[in-house]
Structure 1
Amino acid sequence: MDSKKKANIKENRHILKSVAESVLYCGRQCIALRGTSEKQNSTGNPGNFLALMKLLSNHDEKLKQHMERPKLRNATYLSPQTQNQMIDVIGKRIIQAQIVDEVKNAQIYTVMADEVTSHNVELMPLCVRFVDKDLNIREELLEICSLPRITGSHIATAIKDVLSHLNIEIGDCRGQGYDGASNMSSENVGVQALIKKEAPKAVYMHCNGHCLNLVIARSCALPLVRNMIDKMKSTIIFFTYSPKREQLLMEIVHKDAHSMGQRKPLIDICRTRWAERHDAYSHFYSAFVFIVKALEVIALGLHTEDYSQDVTTGWQGKYKAEAYSLLSGLQNFGFILTFLTVYQVLSHLTGITVKLQKTSVDIVEAFSMVDEVKNIYKELRETIEDDFNQIYKQAIRMAAQVDVQPTSQPRVAGRQTHRENVPAETVKDYYRRNMAIPFLDHVILEFESRFSPLSVTASRLLGLIPSIQCNSGVTVDISEVVQLYQDDLPSPELIDQELKRWTLKWQNKPSEHRPTSCAEAIKQCDALIYPNIFKLLKIACTLPVTSCECERSASTLRRLNTFMRSSMGEDRLSSLALIHTHYDMAVNLDEAVNIFSKLHPRRLELTSVLNP
């Protein structure tokens, strides 16, 4: 009887393990579990979960027998209720529990949040940043919760409720990473102020990715630059929103270009990320001549003999008029020169935009990257004469390809306040004084103002970096940091002596072997020999740089909340997001079966009282 009971339990657990495996597969691949019918023998679409179970049963005799002839008709473990319970077990009881344990072991952490709307419901991905046991910086999604409103008090309450529910001490929070909206950043009623009431050391950092985008947005508000971008957007929309017009452009490109590969001639301008926007500028630059030729085909009926009639004939009058308007805007030397200036000047931001989004970047490394780019722009401002001459020559060559010559400079009106009015003798001087120099000044000014909090915070931590410590010309005082985190340090009274030992350790090593960031330094810092410095480096690594992980987590909602499952409970949505986001995290299916059997005991035997 005992052996028969064990065999029965083993078979039942095998079936439930297959259920867990199917749920995990659907969750990781972000595909809907349910279909139009949840009955196995239904003629409609049974859904991905049941279809996958049927597929597995073709290679598993025990599972096939359970699917066709279950021992108990009311204990098949295939119902939507079981699916939800297994999703909760894998998402919350295993993946989330593992992250919570790692956060507790790290002792200190940073919270990052960002609100997003999905199917007319306000949701908030809540992420944590911490240093794990292997001394790697990690940013992980903790939960996605719904918000009744997006005021500072409601968001702060939601954050505190999640932390309290997961038994994570809010007093251990050392950083906050949000965007710069008033409900987040306000010093009185913002989220950061409300969280600081319970976690006074939780330093607020405006997402540096958003700061970089704001630098570009504010700099591009210059009238000449803004008008150029509007014309560029209108041109991209004109072609990409019409299959026939895009087909015409593609045919011109494939026939006249030497090699464009498989990439599209035009891509839409991203509104949030400059790295994606830079790609749009690159495509527009490469396809500029072909764009002008396509507009000439539509507006003026030129070059029709060179291409197929399907794309050169049958254009309605309103499209001809729109194409003629765009053609007049593009065949303008001021547009070409402004486009090249913006394209080349902002190209320096492409690399830093991508690097700032990495989870392993610490605040000192981010400051170093931002400072490097800022110095590039300052140097560019000093040599604007020579650099703009090169851009001007390139603009002349580009304009000649579309039969455009540098015309006389725009009229200058002394009392006009909504256009550029700096007097100039030549066309080149006009655009240099009215467009290039103001544009560069705007970029530098925005860098100074937007990244000043980053500079202040990072400057306090520079004294911990060996490459800076051993620089004889640099003296960095870390007394402010020691005073701020005095309660976190094991022996703050010995920090000066410890710092001397830390400096001597690296002075005897070549400069190329000295760590240049907190992430590198903490991996070479022995917590037993340098306990205070190790703790300060850990705090420095924990401070947030961007809130990109929240945005990446919010992007999963586009795949989760599809038209097939637009209505979904908060627990199911959060658990599926955890399963999908933490794709590479190992999940022990036997553990999932154990947890399920304890939380949801059913009619099938899954455990034995004598042999659990």
Structure 2
Amino acid sequence: MKRQEKLTNFFSTEPGTVAEGDLQTSSTQQDGAESPPIIETLDECDSNASPAVKKPRLAFDPMDIGRFVRKSSSLHAPLTEEERFKALTDCWKPDEHYQFPKVLESTRTRAFQHHYLVKWPWLAYSEMHGGGAFCKYCVLFARETSDQRGPNFLGVLVAKPLNKYKKALDILKNHERCQYHCEAKGKAEKFLDWYNDKVGHDLRNRLLAARGEQVKKNRQGLVPIIRTILLCGKQNIPLRGHRDDGSLSAVDGNNNDGNFRALLRYRLDAGDRLLEEHLNSAKKNATYVSHTFQNEIISTIGKIIRRRIVAEVKVAKFFAVLADESRDVGKTDQLTVCLRYVGGEDNQHVVKEVFLKFSDVEEKTGSGLARSILGVLQEEGLDIRNLRGQGYDGCSAMRGSNKGAQAEIKAVVPQALYFHCASHCLNLALVHSSELAAIRLVAGSVANVCAFFSNSSKRTRILQDQIERLNSSNSRKKRLKTLCMTRWVESHQAFIAFKELLIPIVQSLLELEQEVGETGARSYELLSAICKCQFVTSLFIIESFSSLFLPLSVKLQAKELDIFAALDLVDNVLLVLRRRREAAIDGFQQILAEVTEVCDSLEIDIRMPRICERQLNRENHPADSSEEYFRVTSYIPYLDSLIDGFISLFADARQGALKVQCLIPKFAVRSSVTDLHPAIEFYESDLSCSVNVAKAEFERWRAKWMEVPQNGVPASAIDALNHCPAADFPKINIL
């Protein structure tokens, strides 16, 4: 198994002012060697130290030209054609707001100038090797020695960066006239021309026109095969069968050779001439219908999709990463990595949430998961420095404030704020509330009853008959739903369905109780569990809140939802819970009225348990009536637990949203300039301006919405962005 890299291999020290002597030291290192980090690595840090106090580090861009300088050294493997093409066409280029590090030369400080990149297109700046400029053409295509006599190895702009700028203009002008540069430029232009049309520039195809025609014909023959693979992928149709080798015409009735080969035969029967001609004329080892070719096509399609996603993310610049770890059927721990960013559709900004790839997890610690996440982003060519958000579940390895994955990544990119998944928070609030004995027992009994009926078609049919006989006109629910620990929407629906079908369930169990054997005994046990006033009361209490949480759970999983809208939904539900707590007596009376009606139908007595001086196994609150007892022991504790869970579990998300909440027009009209100060300080590196400039722009932004009626003011981040032109409000647009 391939050994994972250390987390610090992705990072460098942050660029700053460097002395001339330090630059000379770094530039005289062996060609291709990176400048060693001057900060301690994560593995070398004190294990008890908090990542919050570690010095922030920045990652090199995956397309930094310095990476190709190292690879082009004779000590390393040569560059591939794809790497050369990417380096020429997609090399990292600092934007116009980038702050180049200043270099102390004699008594003056100088820095690389952005207009150099505009004047000389072959020039590229690198943050590696101590920082400096390289010639893209010469790095990728120049020979090792210059055109002068003697072993004069190429240095500045080729093997070493240009990092002294006193005579930079003269050096660049002279380099442009060098013979080896002109040769490298010619090679680069020819390479691009060839790479974009490999078939047309193949010498064999030029000499033999018939061969070129055969290449095009072979490609056309692959089109039906590739389209069939795409169809299976889009429709979630498995490709493979018991045996999927041999000729398509050789059909074995005893073995199923899979959907892919069956669809190809279907195309042949439908008259696909291209496919028929390809299969008839191709050699047996070149039909391209084997499982090996299927895997190659699927892998290539995945690369193309990921390349398009990364291209969209680079246009958006900033992005967030969503990750979750789980074990697949092959007992392999897989890390699912998704990206969330702002894209464009129909000239409007929209929130996009897309799956990127799976990654094997070798180490499930915080640092190991952080390495896996950053490694995936690095492999796909994303700049980690533009990571602005993290979304994971609440396990300690992910959310730990000291050694969790989010803390390790924040030590690298401090602006990458962590947000606990809102749906996970809601589920945890419900899980914590179910720790009450009465609520926990109801959940267990509901799960047992659902499993009892779903395990037998005969029991299911009996239940369906009872539903049609008793509840055909009173309920829309026609079947039970099983409780699911991960799909929380289904859990809410399960309690709602069980409450509506309680009478048919009891009647079905009474009928099954008469049978001999395990079915009768199990039916008796389940009847004893659910035919109690404590169970019915707790079930109706849970159902009354499930009806409240069901729409919230659905909305919290919407990909277009932002943190502000999510908190609004949570606050709305929290307000309802608090009002129910204030009116607990009246609210529980309504529930008890429904409980009484159902218990009368099932001949269940509503009475409170016997009260004694000392009780360890159940609630023992003194009460004057059964209504007061169940309200004090079940309804109010369940309600209090829900309120506490909502307040505590969503507190971190609320704190993170406060940094930029004042930018939303809904909140901006009643915010002051001082409210924006924390966000300006936190995102100072993104804004590249003084505090006063950002504050002045916010004042104009707020004034714009002061004149707009309240019902026309955007209330979400994406709506605000669509009303914030970058030309008029560049800093607000970034935030």
**TM category, shorter:** 0.7 to 0.9
* Cα 1:260/1:476, change in 2 over 3 Å: farther
SS at match of 2:465: helix
Change (3 A) 1:423 1:236: same
Q: 1:294 aligns with which of 508, 518, 543?
A: 508
- Aligned positions of 1:395-434 closer than 5 A: 395-407=595-607, 409-434=608-633
Q: Quote the residue 1:602 is aligned against.
A: none
Q: Is the aligned partner of 1:38 residue 2:245? A: yes
Question: Are 1:495 and 2:701 an aligned pair?
Answer: no
**Residues of 2 paired with 1:506 and 1:13: CA distance?**
58
Structure with higher helix content: 1
Seen in structure 2, the aligned counterparts of structure 1 residues 317 and 6 have a Cα distance that, compared at 3 Å, is closer
Secondary structure of the 1:114 match is strand
Letter in 2 for 1:62: L
Distance in 1 between the 2:284 and 2:519 partners? Answer: 65
What is the alpha-carbon distance in structure 1 between the residues aligned to residue 453 and residue 480 of structure 2? 8
- The residue correspondences of 1:372-387 to structure 2 (distance < 5 A) are 372-387=572-587
1:100 aligns with 2:100: no
Q: Distance in 1 between matches of 2:433 and 2:461?
A: 35
1:316 pairs with 2:316: no
How far apart are the structure 1 equivalents of 2:340 and 2:349? Answer: 12
Contact 1:19–1:53 (CA under 8 A) maintained in structure 2 = yes
1:116 pairs with 2:330:
no
Matches within 5 A, 1:543-582: none
Q: In structure 1, what is the Cα distance between the partners aligned to 2:713 and 2:722?
A: 12
Do the aligned residues in 2 keep the contact of 1:253 with 1:260 (CA within 8 Å)?
no
Q: Which runs of 4+ in 1 moved over 3 A?
A: 1-7, 259-264
Alignment of 1:448-487 (within 5 A): 448-471=647-670, 477-487=675-685
Root mean square deviation, CA, Å: 2.1
Counterpart among 447, 452, 462 of residue 233 in structure 1: 447
Of 146-155 and 174-183, more deviation after overlay is shown by: 146-155
CA deviation after TM superposition for structure 1 residue 390, in Å: 0.7
How far apart are 1:358 and its partner, in Å?
A: 0.8
Query: Using the alignment, how far apart are the partners of 1:158 and 1:423 within structure 2?
Result: 56
Q: Which residues of 2 match residues 53-72 of structure 1 at below 5 A?
A: 53-58=264-269, 59-70=271-282, 72=283
How many pairs align?
Answer: 518
1:34–1:46: 8 Å Cα contact kept in structure 2? yes
Match of residue 242 from structure 1: 456
Q: Which blocks of at least 5 consecutive residues in structure 2 are unaligned?
A: 1-206
Higher relative contact order (CA 8 A, sep 6+): 1
Deviations 1:529-571 (A, max 9, x none): 11111111xxxxxxxxxxxxxxxxxxxxxxxxxxxxxxxxxxx
Asked whether the 8 Å contact 1:122–1:149 carries over to 2, the reply is no
CA distance in 2, matches of 1:366, 1:273: 19
- 1:167–1:281: structure 2 CA closer, same or farther, 3 Å change rule? same
Q: Secondary structure at the match of 1:267?
A: coil
Query: Which one-letter code corresponds to 1:78 in the other structure?
Result: V
How far did 1:222 drift?
0.5
Q: CA deviation at 1:338?
A: 1.2
Q: Does 1:344 align with 2:544?
A: yes
Equivalent residue for 1:504? 703
Q: Residue 366 of structure 1 is aligned with which of 541, 552, 566?
A: 566
Contact 2:705 2:713 in 1 (8 A): yes
1:14 aligned onto 2:14: no
**In 2, are the aligned partners of 1:482 and 1:492 still within 8 Å (CA)?**
no
Greater shift, 193-202 or 252-261, is seen at 252-261
Moved more, 104-113 or 267-276: 267-276
Query: Could you tell me the TM-score, scaled by structure 1's length?
Result: 0.81
Tell me if the contact between 1:57 and 1:67 (Cα under 8 Å) persists in the aligned partners. Answer: no
Query: Greater shift after overlay, 450-459 or 46-55?
Result: 46-55
Which of 77, 96, 114 pairs up with 2:288?
Answer: 77
Q: Which amino acid aligns with 1:394?
A: E
2:594 to 364, 384, 394: 394
Query: 1:285 deviation in Å?
Result: 1.6
2:298 maps to 1:87 = yes
- 1:115 positional shift: 0.7
Aligned position for 1:306:
none
Offset of residue 478 of structure 1: 2.1
120, 125, 140: which one pairs with 2:336?
Answer: 125
Instruction: After superposition, give the CA deviation of every residue in 1:170-224 in whole Å (9 maximum; x if it has no partner).
Output: 1211111111111111222211122122212111111111110010011011111
8 Å CA contact 1:22–1:52 kept in 2: the answer is: yes
CA deviation digits over 1:61-87, x for unaligned, max 9? 2321221332x4432222333222211
1:189 to 393, 400, 403: 403
Is this contact kept in 2: 1:364–1:461, CA < 8 A? no
Q: Deviations 1:406-450 (Å, cap 9, x if unpaired)?
A: 22x212334334421221100000111111111111000111111
The answer to whether structure 1 residue 179 and structure 2 residue 386 are counterparts is no
> 1: distance between equivalents of 2:624 and 2:256?
74
Alpha-carbon distance between aligned partners in 1 of 2:594 and 2:476, rounded to the nearest angstrom: 27
For 2:412 and 2:684, the matched residues in 1 are separated by: 18
Partner amino acid, structure 1, of 2:395: A
Q: Which runs of 5+ in 1 are unaligned?
A: 302-314, 537-612
Give me the identity figure in percent.
33
TM-score (normalizing by structure 2): 0.68
**Could you say if the C-alpha distance between residues 87 and 345 of structure 1 is closer, same or farther in structure 2, counting changes exceeding 3 Å?**
closer
**How far off its partner does 1:497 sit?**
1.5
Letter in structure 1 aligned against 2:722: K
CA contact (8 A) 1:470 1:503 kept: yes
User: SS at 1:270's partner residue?
Assistant: coil
Counterpart in the other structure of 1:49: 260
Partner of 2:641: 442
Letter in 2 for 1:46: D
Q: 1:461-502 CA deviation, whole Å, 9 max, x = no partner? A: 221111222248x99812111110111114343122111211
What residue number does 1:558 align with? none
SS at match of 1:281: helix
Distance (whole Å) between structure 2 residues aligned to residue 164 and residue 342 of structure 1: 46
1:332 aligns with 2:546: no
Cα distance, 1:255 vs structure 2: 2.7
Asked if structure 1 preserves the Cα contact closer than 8 Å seen for 2:495 and 2:546, the reply is no
How far, CA to CA, are the matches of 2:222 and 2:517 in structure 1? Answer: 65
SS in 1 for 2:336: strand
